[in-house]
Structure 1
């Protein structure tokens, strides 16, 4: 977004928000399987899903504040509904990264996997 004009950035974020809202409103269950980085829009996408399965190497965060921007694709609202206002504010304002176990304890993730074959474990958890 840094190289976009203000109008281009607004259109981009609006399109992301609309897409993530469509995913959140699908009439079938959706599962986000994260086994790597889900930062910024990646976390916002995962939060749009009904279930969020965090693999052992999952890393979550909303680093936008450090870039002087705000998460604009609906993630702040979805995060607040999952973890509460106080914790969501801390996560958004600090941009701090956190792993699968903290994601589970905070309510971001529905399931946290511990090693092994992450793909098979995700299939089993879903």
Structure 2
């Protein structure tokens, strides 16, 4: 969980746009959704039962992502927790290449999703 929180902090600090907290929320929620898809794919591959249909439309994708968006809202924004996150990491930022850690984590998430799909669902 602390990796998601640290990713949130780094995206907020690296964003010069007009809505850094919203951008970080969307990015971290997308990472969580990809982890959810990897978990479902692993379960489907091991058990052999389709849990999610392969031809989801846009509404189905939004509905399946809604619980993750709600949980991430409570993780980052409920009672202004994002301010605590920012102040916590600004006090103890000792990493030499923090952006490298976040970028590596995001790339590893994409590769994990692709590898899991290829492993269990070869076309």
TM-score, scaled relative to structure 2: 0.27
Higher strand share: 1
Structure number with higher relative contact order (C-alpha < 8 Å, ≥ 6 residues apart): 2
Higher helix share: 2
Bigger radius of gyration: 2
Q: TM-score, normalised by structure 1?
A: 0.27
